[in-house]
Structure 1
Amino acid sequence: MSEQKTGAFTGYEKFIIALLAILQFTVVLDFMVLSPLGYILLDKLSISTSQFGLVVSAYAFSAGAAGLLTAGFADKFDRKKLLLFFYTGFVIGTFLCGIAPTYHFPLFARIFTGLFGGVIGSIGFAIITDLFPIQVRGRVMGFVQMAFASSQVLGIPIGLYLAKEFSWHAPFLMIVGVSIIVGILIVAYMKPINAHLKFQSQGNAFQHLGRTISKPQYLQGFAATTMLATGGFMLMPFGTAYGVNNLGIQEAQLPTLYMVTGLCMLAFSPLIGKLSDKVGKYQVFLWGSVIACVMTLIYCNLSVTPLWIIIILNILLFVGITARMISASALMSAVPEPHDRGAFMGINSSVQQISGGIASLIAGYIVSETATGYLENYPLLGNVVVVAIIITGFLMYRIHKYVTHKTAQVIEPKAVI
């Protein structure tokens, strides 16, 4: 696109934003739908909380490994071709989840899916960074991150309904169907994205990977991502089980909780993106962190609570989480140089997935389930999350200072679309 800082997006730019949002929707839903199914899997597969934490983290660990293995190659190919390759593998892995019969099979399927699905987000962010200047990336990230809200409004309620009416396999098969349509759209309408190839440095993929990992300014970005993922992944795996067994939410009420929260996030996400471009990405991140800390402490110390109160608290919690995600993604996208974007995003995604996987495992050991299904030590889990959020705030401040200094002196070369 042109070097415009404001103004409306072109028709093709809107298509790219929408396509990336829908693509992200399928990937996010594939990961997020596992948590609401937690109470079903604990019963149907007769597994413990630590075993379920392993199923969740298996995806994260394999995604992290895949990101590191592919990071050195990420800047050496047309991003469209790279996206299609990994999205195809993701669809195959999700299909395997949809036919998994026993505990060990879905564990393998999640590992396979992670090897491909975990790289897709980093490719998408690299595409956004290639095609859109920093001045409008908050808006773009705001729309793309609507995938998380959409997964709650449409995906998770439908997935829970299908799981209840048929089996826990059905939501994964639904994702496969939607993903095939998305893949066809990518093949048919997305243009090649290869302008970054003009900035290629000498050396092989492993040398490129080594140079990317060794840069101090990149390392501080990876450190911030580590703590960002730690806070986010700890609450996610057992959120539904906590709601049902500790807060007294009825199984039939779960779709309502997710749908109302998601609808609110569909409205808030674009507003948060615009706000981050207008008032500052770090400022929005900071306020989001404050909201997330307060709501985490309240939410994790609740007992049996009326549904309407839980919905309000859940919405406020997700406002904080979404503000952190959108602003951090936009801010982090300005860290790498053009010839390092694919590698940086790949490594950053790996760091996020591996950190999230470790966080899920730790959460599985902090939280324990009684004979009645009640989850113990959830307040302790909330305290750990708050500490991680506070540490992340200090790390993101360093990223903010670096990006501010960089963008004040350098105008990035942009691809023309």
Structure 2
Amino acid sequence: MTKEQYLNQRKKLMNEAELLINEGKFEDSEAKMNEVKTLDNKWETIALANANLNALKDNAKVTELENKSVTVEGGKPVDNIVQPKPLDEKKAYENAWAKYMQGGKLEGIEKELFDKVNTEFSNAYTHDTTNTAILIPETVVAGIWKRAEEMYPLLADVRKFSVSGTLTMKKHTGIAAGDAAFYDEATATADEQNNFGEITLSGCELAKAITITWKLRSMAMEEFIPFIINELGERVGVALGKAVASGKGASASPREPEGVETALLAESGTPQVVTYDPDNATTPVPLTYKKVTEAIAKIHSSYLGGAAIYANNATIWTQLANLTDDNGRPLFIPDVTSGGVGRMFGMVVKPDAGLSKNNILIGNASAGYIMNTNEPMSVATEEHVKARTVDYAAYTIVDGAVLDTKAFALIRDIPTA
């Protein structure tokens, strides 16, 4: 059928349909119009077939497209095509995580990324719990650690690792024989005999739960994430900050990281400890210039370059800030620009709530203490429908121990009997 035949036949059918409408024969006219639709579909098929045939005939001909653009009415020229930015998976996971924590439904790319990350996490770490642990985004964990370290500078200063499972490190404890020495020309150099110890950080379970109302959970996402960072940072910070300073170590039940105070007091003869007793009602032993210099002298000279002084806020302002030399000049110099509240003997004085009352720790934390995160931080949720609250339980496995006691000295308050 040619185009002319199609048009003539269509015109005839349309005229017949119009006559039937004028005569009031609506059902017949509808049937006639259906014939027109059938004819149109038939012609469309024929026209498409002809177009394909013509395209095949001209297939060998290469059309020059240069300068052949056509302006589309109402359209806008596209001069610069901006490529879509690659997906920032860390930020995308943070948003998906926050949405999930707020009880939102994840769909599309959000759900795919969320499931992928947590499947990998659950395959790497197995938990005996009926609640699914969700990996906290790196950006949020960094905020939690930062908040914890702001409150506990000793925790901030220690050397940190993130080794899954057990971390074992050798530490050099001394040279039994063969140290460097001067020799006569004919004398052979002695073989060196080193003594090594071993630190094994197998991990301590750290968990903390917070409970918030459904109403509070419905806050905006940009408010929810800082809220979680602040809440978990403070609570996790308390546990870790105290553990680094005075944790009981592997012998405790439950197991805790080893605190610097604990390690120094456990040494035979406590060679790195100086004592005083300011609260003794009968014969008080005050903190003096000489006791501070005695403590500093116990630190190996190789560690002094990065040493700082740590004590809780009350101890700083009742003991250290009032300390004077033999000429009555104050040893404590207030200074908030160096990362602490003051300086003594060239070292920064840092307030740390993890230190025991009246105890003063002097040392190089980055060289003398190591901490390992054996399992990254995750969080599980539990809904309480009647109370309209939700629990967020953060969980991680960490451990820490003193690498070298010679990096520290402790000025200890003698406990009251």
Instruction: Return the TM-score normalized by structure 1.
Output: 0.20
Which has the larger strand fraction? 2
Structure having the higher Rg: 2
Instruction: Return the TM-score normalized by structure 2.
Output: 0.20
Which structure has more relative contact order (CA 8 Å, sep 6+)? It is 1
